[in-house]
Chains A and B, each alone.
Chain A
């Protein structure tokens, strides 16, 4: 069975600092992995996805994530945080190509300090 764990329900960084949001997954087959972002009072929006091509995936808004099979991790990073990055971030895993099989993590709230 697949599962996903996000370490840290709340992360706070200073503007301009490195953003690192952690995600570990469990899957019995090569997974598809996703990061979604949710801004206040909005739905979720896809940031990036891994589908067994390049292990370093670049997404929108300067975010990227690296798939590390040996560590079963898919951490999200951004070199320099901006105030507009304040949002909830969700890691998700899927063992199949059907979107109905996507399992979401509990989310990490990212706060940006001026």
Chain B
């Protein structure tokens, strides 16, 4: 069992569909993240949740709606997406409050989204 699990691994949707991406971490971490990875662009941080509370939203369009019901689960709800939203969406988790060092990120394998 991997530490961070993402489902589905692949998703194809039309611009009028509504779908959701799911992320679950089994590492006992208390922070979770959504990143967008597009071809030839740096990894983009989308949302950060600390102890289930959203602490960062990096100007993400409202057609992306995150949900964090508890420290182990994170969702990304998708609706009326555009073709340019096609990308690999990566979930990550980390442990907060660790003294003496940086909180490293643990990533899932990603959900490959294609918007037609």
A97 at the interface (CB under 8 A from B): yes
Q: Which residues of A contact B98 (CB under 8 A)?
A: 97
Kindly count the residue-residue contacts between A and B in the assembled complex, taking CB atoms under 8 Å apart: 68
B83 at the interface (CB under 8 A from A): no
B66 at the interface (CB under 8 A from A): no
B101 at the interface (CB under 8 A from A): yes
Contact (Cβ within 8 A) A102 B105: yes
Contact (Cβ within 8 A) A99 B42: no
CA–CA, A78 and B41, complex, Å? 26
Q: Which of B76-116 contact A (CB under 8 A)?
A: 90, 92, 94, 96, 98-110
Contact (Cβ within 8 A) B41 A100: no
Q: Given A43-B4, A43-B109, A44-B90, A94–B102 Cβ distance below 8 Å?
A: yes
A63 at the interface (CB under 8 A from B): no
CA–CA, A104 and B11, complex, Å? 25
